[in-house]
């Protein structure tokens, strides 16, 4: 499939960052025109739950613009965010690969998002007819599961401030711009992302702020490259001591 057809069909793709454009080009490199024509585009506001665990997995979603998160409500009443997606990935593709008829997790928008979606039956038709696309999708699912399991194992060994430090490191690696990470959304978002209660988050934030490991500006938290390096040392030391 020629790339220009993809961008002509979905003009908004011309406005996204170059890295994600390249991801779309790579993912749909062998996609037939009938697959591209089957997509629908939907605009979603922030904090919209568009996939719910245990509901029929009948749609496949791709995030064109914005960020989404995978969340779990089952642990002690805490909304735990265990994965964020800001790259091209087939939401619902894992269920297809694993022959699951229902979604295995809940997905919610973090920011305003532009979403491309198509019926699972159409996605399955493409996978069955394109061995290269099927192999690529299986590889991405495997990478996702590996990353999730590694994060879960690490979190088993970290508590309180150390767990928050690990989250900040992950966010810095993915979202820092010009050597600075900007965290917005308040303490509740940090609680959701770490599985820690808000009270524990408040103590950890105060500890890091007093120690010069983060910079607070109202409800925002800034982390520069030097602070990032110090946080990495803290996490590495905590992991070595376990």
Alpha-carbon distance values, 198 to 88, 166, 220 (Å): 32, 17, 16
How far apart, in Å, do the first and last CA atoms of the chain sit? 51
The first and second tokens of residue 95, run together, are 């269920």
Query: What was the pLDDT predicted at 155?
Result: 64
- Which of the pair, 158 or 196, is modelled with greater confidence? 196
Query: What was the pLDDT predicted at 75?
Result: 47
- Describe the crossing of helices 160-175 and 186-194 by its angle, rounded to 10 degrees: 100
Residue 82: pLDDT over 60: no
Full-prediction pTM beyond 0.95? no
Mean pLDDT of all residues in 231-236:
86
pLDDT tens-place string over residues 101-135:
999 889 999 889 999 999 999 999 999 999 999 99
Query: What was the pLDDT predicted at 6?
Result: 86
Residue 242: pLDDT over 60: no
Residue 79: pLDDT over 60: no
Percent of the chain with pLDDT over 90: 50
Query: What was the pLDDT predicted at 103?
Result: 95
pLDDT band at 176 (very low <50, low <70, confident <90, very high): confident
Measured CA to CA, the distance from residue 229 to residue 223 in angstroms comes to 10
Query: What was the pLDDT predicted at 153?
Result: 65
Which structural domains are found in the chain, ordered by start?
3-155 (2.60.120.10), 159-240 (1.10.10.10)
- Which of the pair, 75 or 16, is modelled with greater confidence? 16
Return phi, psi of residue 49, to 5°.
Answer: -85, 115
Mean pLDDT of all residues in 33-52:
94
Which H or E run includes 216?
A: strand 215-217
Query: What was the pLDDT predicted at 76?
Result: 46
pLDDT band at 69 (very low <50, low <70, confident <90, very high): confident
Residue 13: pLDDT over 70: yes
Residue 150: pLDDT over 80: no
- Which burial class, exposed, middle or buried, applies to 201 when counting CB atoms under 10 A from its CB (0-12, 13-18, 19+)? buried
């Amino acid at each position: 499939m020629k790339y220009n057809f993809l961008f002509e069909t979905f003009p908004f793709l011309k406005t996204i960052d170059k890295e994600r454009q390249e991801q779309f080009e790579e993912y749909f490199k062998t996609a037939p025109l009938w697959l591209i024509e089957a997509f629908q585009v939907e605009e979603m506001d922030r904090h919209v739950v568009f996939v719910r665990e245990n509901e029929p997995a009948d749609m496949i979603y791709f995030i064109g613009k914005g960020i989404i998160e995978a969340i779990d409500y089952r642990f002690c009443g805490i909304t735990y965010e265990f994965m964020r997606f800001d790259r091209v990935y087939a939401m619902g593709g894992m269920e297809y690969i694993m022959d699951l008829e229902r979604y295995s997790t809940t997905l919610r928008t973090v920011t305003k998002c532009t979403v491309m979606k198509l019926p699972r039956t159409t996605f399955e038709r493409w996978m069955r007819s394109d061995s290269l696309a099927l192999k690529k999708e299986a590889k991405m699912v495997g990478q996702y599961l590996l990353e999730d399991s590694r994060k879960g194992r690490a979190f088993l060994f970290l508590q309180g401030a150390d767990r928050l430090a690990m989250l900040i490191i992950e966010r810095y690696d993915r979202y820092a711009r010009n050597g600075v990470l900007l965290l917005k959304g308040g303490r509740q978002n940090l609680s959701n992302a770490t599985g820690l209660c808000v009270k524990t988050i408040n103590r950890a934030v105060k500890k890091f702020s007093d120690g010069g490991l983060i910079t607070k500006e109202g409800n925002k938290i800034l982390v520069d490259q030097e602070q990032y390096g110090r946080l990495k040392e803290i996490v590495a030391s905590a992991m070595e001591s376990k």
